[in-house]
Amino acid sequence: RLAAVADRPGPLVLSGNNTFQGGVRGAGGTLQVEAPTGAGIGGVTFTTSGSETLAVTSAALTAGAFNYTVSGFGAGDFFRLVGLTADAASVSGNNVIITNGGAMVATFIAPGIAAGTQLLAYSDGAGGTLVTIPVPLVGNPDSYSVNEDNPLVVAIGQGVLANDVGAPLTASVASGPAN
């Protein structure tokens, strides 16, 4: 048995008619499948919850279906539909169904995701879609102090979201400075 492993900083891209056996497993990286048989013979396994992405192009889908069983998908992992737009995702039986305006865009066989699990679908900013099980958001208190008549300057990496958990998180100014 041979298994391809995505454990690198850039994506591991699988295209063409691959016949290797043993499946594909992620290890904290991105696996991009670009053909219906791109992932060889076997399934796709997420091994590090919360840090893996399975990117799939439309060419890897057969009538909208990704024909591999995906296991180990958990909170913070991503399905990425490259170049495909979607606005919703749900779980039905062993399937993740991704839709746009109610029309099916893609399905994934993912028996480890329980019925009723909340999925979030949103734009990837590049014409595609990201689907994830949201990580619970945890906002931790922040405090800053500054001497009178001095400006408060907070570096971006140490800002109000630096100690919070969950993604995607954004911050905005609710009101301007006041005395």
Q: Supply the pTM of this predicted model.
A: 0.74
CB-hemisphere CA count at 13 Å for 84? 26
Under a CB-based contact definition with an 8 Å cutoff, are residues 26 and 8 in contact?
no
Q: Which DSSP string do the residues of 107-156 spell out, in sequence order?
A: EEE-TTSPTT---EEEE-SSSSEEEE-PPPPBPPP------TTS-----G
d(CA 98, CA 123): 13
Contacts of 170 (CB under 8 A, 6+ apart): 161
> In Å, what is the CA distance from 17 to each residue of 33, 37, 60?
11, 5, 11
pLDDT mean values, one per 10 residues, the chain (179 residues): 55 87 80 92 82 92 95 90 96 95 96 90 95 81 86 76 69 70
d(CA 153, CA 132): 34
Question: Looking at residue 158, what DSSP letter applies?
Answer: G
Question: Looking at residue 174, what DSSP letter applies?
Answer: S
Under a CB-based contact definition with an 8 Å cutoff, are residues 45 and 54 in contact?
no
**pLDDT at position 157, please?**
64
Under a CB-based contact definition with an 8 Å cutoff, are residues 135 and 168 in contact?
no
